[in-house]
Amino acid sequence: MITAERKPIQEIMNLVSPYKNLLLVGCNECVTVCSAGGRKEVALLSSALQVAFMKSGRIVHIQEMTLERQCDPEYIEQLVPHIDSVDAVLSLACGCGVQEIARRFKEKMVFPGVNTKFMGASERPGVWAERCQGCGDCLLGVTGGICPIARCSKRLQNGPCGGSSKGKCEIGPDVDCAWQLIWDRLKALGLQERYETLLPAKNWRNGRGGGPRKIVREDLM
């Protein structure tokens, strides 16, 4: 999922302070799963903002809505009946959702209520960790299902480096060395010989190095 974290309340207040009527929009997908921008977080932020504004002597009216997805135009259309009655939109979706709202409603200011972080997985309740960087050329079949691009601090394709110690990365004792994980996994699978295969230099143009990316499927158009 795409993970996100709510921005500090003060930062959100600074963003929306000129407005009296706000539409606070959550998203039912990734940000719901990572408890950053679902229905519950919308209600919580709405309460917190209203309390904060009332404390400073202002009443701000906040309409709450949570869309099935904010990254699809057909769901954004559900905002049409509400958009005229508000001064600005505060979105708790990832950056994709915020931009979709901005694209659809050109005359309304849209603010992000979360910082979009990374593509990750839930390790345990309340903990999410980065697992994929969308490099556009997946290596997981070679590295035993552990991504050196997302999980090695240096994105080494032929690791580990000298900073690997007792299975941990030199950047912090809580960070696993991805190449130690890869070695352990290959060993468990009896595929140690794969470790000897050198991976050639990666073509980073498949990732962000090639500029903004697009997928075009003519069969679905």
Q: Which residues contribute to the site for other proteins (CB under 8 A)?
A: 8-10, 20-21, 40, 43-44, 47-52, 54-57, 59, 61
Of 8 and 209, the one with the shorter C-beta distance to other proteins is 8
Closest contact distance (angstroms) between CB of 41 and other proteins is: 9
Closest contact distance (angstroms) between CB of 86 and other proteins is: 11
Q: Nearest 10 degrees: CA dihedral of 103, 117, 158, 189?
A: -110
Closest contact distance (angstroms) between CB of 53 and other proteins is: 9
21, 85 contact by CB (below 8 A): yes
Proportion of the chain in helix, strand, coil states, percent, rounded to 5 = 35, 20, 45
d(CA 49, CA 123): 30
Closest contact distance (angstroms) between CB of 6 and other proteins is: 10
156, 202 contact by CB (below 8 A): no
Of 50 and 133, the one with the shorter C-beta distance to other proteins is 50
Closest contact distance (angstroms) between CB of 44 and other proteins is: 5
Of 58 and 187, the one with the shorter C-beta distance to other proteins is 58
Q: Nearest 10 degrees: CA dihedral of 123, 128, 134, 137?
A: -20
Alpha helix segments (H runs only) across the chain: 9-16, 30-33, 39-55, 73-76, 80-83, 95-104, 148-151, 178-189
Of 21 and 203, the one with the shorter C-beta distance to other proteins is 21
Of 8 and 134, the one with the shorter C-beta distance to other proteins is 8
